[in-house]
């Protein structure tokens, strides 16, 4: 390479996060991390990604075409699957199930989800008319009671295609998690008869107990099976421009996988961007010596919340995903519609609401001057003075304060107040929604928020973090230097992660040989998965988990295990499960001598890859930062505004201390240090805020 910025011996990594409003990108060479933002291009994913990559290449003093051949890692967090689910624009799916159980999915096992305060059945991924029962039956032990006539399954599939126009088909039979022979035979015959029809087996995708959850997971994958077309087109474009390695996609479990492997289960990419953010937050926690943290990511359309406990992110294996109930191994992330682009509106009862609708990238907030006519959280922040219209994105984009005042003023007229009071109302309602999401995460696990540190991410995250921490009595907030593009950093920093599960249904103590056969089979499958993603055997690690419950209970707790499945190991596993159950639900919830069941066994494989890392800087003495300007920050309810100092992030060095009330302005984010708080920059250029000094 002739360009000085592209060193042949540098380890170049690119991470991209495609958000609803902006596409974020980071570029790391192992010694320095550069970042950039470009507007997202809905419907043309590749164009926004390439625009952002060109911009970050320019900041490295080169061009994208010169840079790409030296890039050893290209990670991507994408909303492609998320958008299909949220907009309900997936493929029309058909379902073949055991005769007599056609109502399994429509009835939804009595599960209800919240829709604006109303409890409703989960969103249907398949129409009742597109569900066909086939004569076959296997019992819970795997014994065949009624043999499948393969011709019946093929005939049913032909009818669904010809008469209903289905575009993908799922086969999910009762107890196929124990014996999947009928499913395998049906899928093979249908694929041979209808080679153009995508056909999938629910038991092959997720062979665990609970037929409804298993079926929903297969339906979600079929529904979203067309979502990766834009991603594959981008991967081909990058390869044509010189990228030497496969693009790695961040999946919902916080790991990465290749584009080719993601085709098998596209639904696992549903929380791609937020999961990448959690990966980055883990890196920030490790650098700061934090083991227990709550991660809050304020993006353009939502506020995403997750927990890190004991250095590990919280996970779940089933639950609601954008109104769809499904079994989906993923990081436990809760989202509320309170991002920078979330729209403020008055409901029929005259109550101010924020979200879930968003202005998105187009038209965006009114202050963007792209045609937006409704007030957003960003407009409110401009009116209140938190955001300087002349320095948005480091001055690359100028905002229209008058437009923000106008739309907030119209909202205020409907409320009987002025624009600044309306803007303050938007701030308070958005903050209240975020606080509810945070409290829910702690309450569900019986955890005390006062023992946690908050990690703030997202373009607007730094403006809300200290206020949120005070509401929950959290004393410490970390705002990394890359906070506004932290999900992009996570896309460049995540390891490859693959996992496989299988139903066990064994009461402890169980036959070690039976458990050993399950673990060995899953280990072989995961090892093959890692190899398919290009992981060398020496870079692979495999671990075992068990999903445990008291016999006949409905829900399980996932516990780490070892590949030693002997009686002593089983006894220790049972004791740890009882201890965790008691901690979460209280000792009064225990029944002495109740048998413990291993419902499912999971094997997790992690492949170490080239990845971006946070770079420490030389330590310097503590000193007070000198504000370069002053700014008035308005408050509601007739209170006097704050006179806040303005400090530029690029002027801070490790050891710099900012005392509130103050605004810290970076090129792509703004951080609020409230009165009574102080922030110190650490060696990784993270602002460590002591909320109540």
Task: Tell me the per-residue pLDDT of 671-691, one tens digit each, with 9 for 90 and over.
Answer: 999 999 999 999 999 999 999
The more confident residue out of 75 and 41 is 75
pLDDT score at 7: 54
**CA nearest 57: which of 23, 34, 73?**
34
Please, where are the H alpha helices in 7-103?
45-59, 64-67, 80-87
Please, where are the H alpha helices in 68-168?
80-87, 104-107, 150-164
Do residues 246 and 233 touch, judged by C-beta distance below 8 A? no
**Residue-wise pLDDT tens digits, 336-362:** 777 888 899 998 888 999 988 888 767
**Residue-wise pLDDT tens digits, 182-222:** 999 999 999 999 999 999 999 999 998 888 989 999 999 99
Q: Can you read off the two tokens belonging to residue 27?
A: 């570029």
The more confident residue out of 59 and 88 is 59
Q: Can you read off the two tokens belonging to residue 613?
A: 């890392």
Q: Which residues contact 413 (CB under 8 A, 6 or more apart)?
A: none
pLDDT score at 117: 66
pLDDT score at 83: 78
| Strand 12-18 to 71-77 pairing | parallel
CATH 3.30.1490 is held by the domain 496-607? yes
The dihedrals phi and psi of 587, each to the nearest 5 degrees, come to -65, -25
Share of the chain above pLDDT 70, in %: 97
Go through the chain and tell me how many residues it has.
693
Share of the chain above pLDDT 90, in %: 62
DSSP string, 40-51: --TT-HHHHHHH
Do residues 468 and 438 touch, judged by C-beta distance below 8 A? yes
Q: Domain residue spans in the chain?
A: 12-84+228-269, 91-223, 342-426, 496-607
Q: Which CATH number fits domain 91-223: 3.40.250, 3.30.160, 1.10.3720, 3.40.50?
A: 3.40.250
Q: Where are the beta strands (DSSP E) in 608-667?
A: 623-624, 629-633, 642-648, 656-659, 662-665
End-to-end, the C-alpha distance of the chain in Å comes to 51
pLDDT score at 4: 42
pLDDT category at 8 given cuts 50, 70, 90 is: low
Give the torsion sign (CA, 535, 490, 474, 481): positive
> What pTM, to 2 d.p., does this model score?
0.85
Across 276-303, b (16+ Cβ under 10 Å) vs e yields: bbbbbbbbbbebbebebbbbbbbbbbbb
pLDDT score at 6: 53
Q: Which CATH number fits domain 12-84+228-269: 3.30.70.890, 2.40.50.140, 3.20.20.10, 3.30.420.40?
A: 3.30.420.40
pLDDT of residue 490 exceeding 70, the answer is: yes
**Residue-wise pLDDT tens digits, 104-145:** 998 876 777 766 667 777 778 999 999 999 999 999 889 999
**Residue-wise pLDDT tens digits, 515-567:** 999 999 999 999 999 998 888 888 999 999 999 999 888 788 889 998 788 98
Do residues 47 and 41 touch, judged by C-beta distance below 8 A? yes
Average pLDDT score, the chain: 90
Token look-up 């989906």 returns: 328
pLDDT score at 361: 66
pLDDT of residue 426 exceeding 80, the answer is: yes
Across 653-679, b (16+ Cβ under 10 Å) vs e yields: ebebebbbbbbbbbbbbbbbbbeebbb
């Amino acid at each position: 390479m002739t360009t000085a910025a592209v060193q042949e011996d540098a380890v170049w990594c690119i991470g991209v996060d495609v958000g609803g409003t902006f596409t974020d990108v980071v570029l790391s060479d192992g010694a320095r991390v550069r970042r950039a933002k470009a507007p997202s291009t809905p419907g043309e994913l590749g164009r926004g990604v390439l625009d952002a990559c060109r911009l970050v290449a320019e900041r490295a003093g080169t061009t994208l075409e010169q840079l790409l051949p030296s890039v050893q890692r290209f990670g991507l967090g994408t909303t492609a699957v998320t958008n299909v689910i949220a907009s309900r624009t997936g493929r029309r799916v058909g379902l073949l199930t055991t005769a007599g159980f056609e109502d399994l999915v429509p009835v939804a096992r009595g599960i209800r989800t919240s829709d604006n305060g109303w409890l409703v059945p989960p969103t249907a991924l398949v129409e009742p008319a597109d569900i066909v029962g086939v004569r076959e039956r296997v019992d819970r032990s795997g014994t065949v009671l009624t043999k499948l006539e393969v011709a019946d399954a093929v005939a049913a599939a032909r009818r669904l295609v010809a008469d209903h126009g289905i575009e993908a088909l799922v086969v999910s039979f009762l107890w196929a998690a124990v014996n999947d022979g009928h499913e395998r035979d049906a899928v093979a015959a249908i694929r041979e008869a209808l080679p153009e029809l995508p056909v999938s087996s629910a038991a092959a995708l997720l062979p665990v107990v609970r037929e409804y959850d298993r079926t929903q997971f297969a339906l979600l994958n079929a529904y979203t099976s067309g979502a990766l077309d834009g991603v594959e087109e981008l991967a081909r474009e990058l390869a044509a421009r010189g990228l030497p390695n496969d693009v790695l996609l961040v999946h919902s479990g916080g790991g990465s996988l290749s584009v080719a492997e993601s085709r098998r289960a596209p639904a696992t990419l549903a929380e791609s961007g937020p999961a990448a953010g959690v990966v980055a937050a883990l890196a920030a926690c490790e650098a700061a010596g934090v083991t227990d943290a709550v991660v809050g990511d304020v993006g353009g359309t939502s506020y995403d919340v997750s927990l890190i406990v004991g250095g590990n992110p919280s996970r779940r294996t089933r639950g609601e995903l954008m109104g769809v109930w499904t079994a989906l191994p993923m990081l436990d992330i809760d989202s509320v519609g309170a991002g920078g682009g979330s729209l403020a509106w008055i409901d029929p009862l005259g109550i101010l609401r924020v979200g879930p609708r968003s202005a998105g990238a187009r038209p965006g907030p009114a202050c963007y001057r792209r045609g937006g006519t409704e007030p957003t959280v960003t407009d409110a922040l401009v009116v209140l003075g938190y955001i300087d219209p002349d320095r948005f994105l480091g001055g690359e984009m100028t905002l229209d304060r008058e437009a923000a005042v106008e739309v907030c003023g119209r909202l205020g007229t409907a409320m009987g107040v002025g624009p600044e009071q309306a803007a303050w109302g938007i701030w308070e309602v958005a903050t209240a929604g975020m606080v509810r999401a945070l409290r829910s995460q702690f309450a569900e696990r019986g955890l005390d928020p006062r023992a946690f540190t908050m990690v703030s991410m997202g373009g607007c995250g730094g403006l809300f973090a200290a206020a949120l921490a005070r509401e929950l009595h959290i004393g410490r907030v970390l705002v990394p230097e890359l906070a506004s593009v932290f999900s992009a950093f996570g896309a460049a920093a995540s390891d490859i992660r693959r996992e496989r599960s299988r139903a066990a249904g064994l009461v402890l103590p169980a036959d070690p040989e039976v458990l050993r056969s399950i673990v060995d089979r899953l280990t072989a499958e995961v090892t093959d998965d890692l190899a398919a993603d290009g992981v060398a055997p020496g870079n692979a690690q495999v671990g075992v988990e068990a999903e445990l419950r008291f016999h006949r209970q409905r829900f399980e707790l996932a516990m780490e295990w070892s590949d030693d499945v002997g009686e002593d190991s089983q006894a220790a596993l049972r004791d740890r499960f009882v201890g965790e159950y008691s901690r979460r639900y209280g000792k009064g919830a225990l029944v002495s001598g109740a048998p413990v069941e291993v419902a499912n066994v999971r094997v997790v494989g992690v492949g170490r890859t080239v990845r971006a890392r946070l770079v420490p800087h030389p330590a310097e003495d503590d000193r007070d930062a000198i504000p370069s300007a002053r700014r008035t920050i308005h408050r509601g309810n007739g209170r006097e505004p704050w006179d806040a100092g303005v400090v530029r992030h690029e002027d801070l060095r490790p050891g710099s201390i900012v005392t509130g009330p103050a605004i810290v302005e970076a090129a792509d984010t703004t951080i609020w240090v409230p009165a009574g708080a102080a922030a110190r920059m650490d060696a990784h250029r993270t602002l460590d805020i002591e909320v109540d000094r």
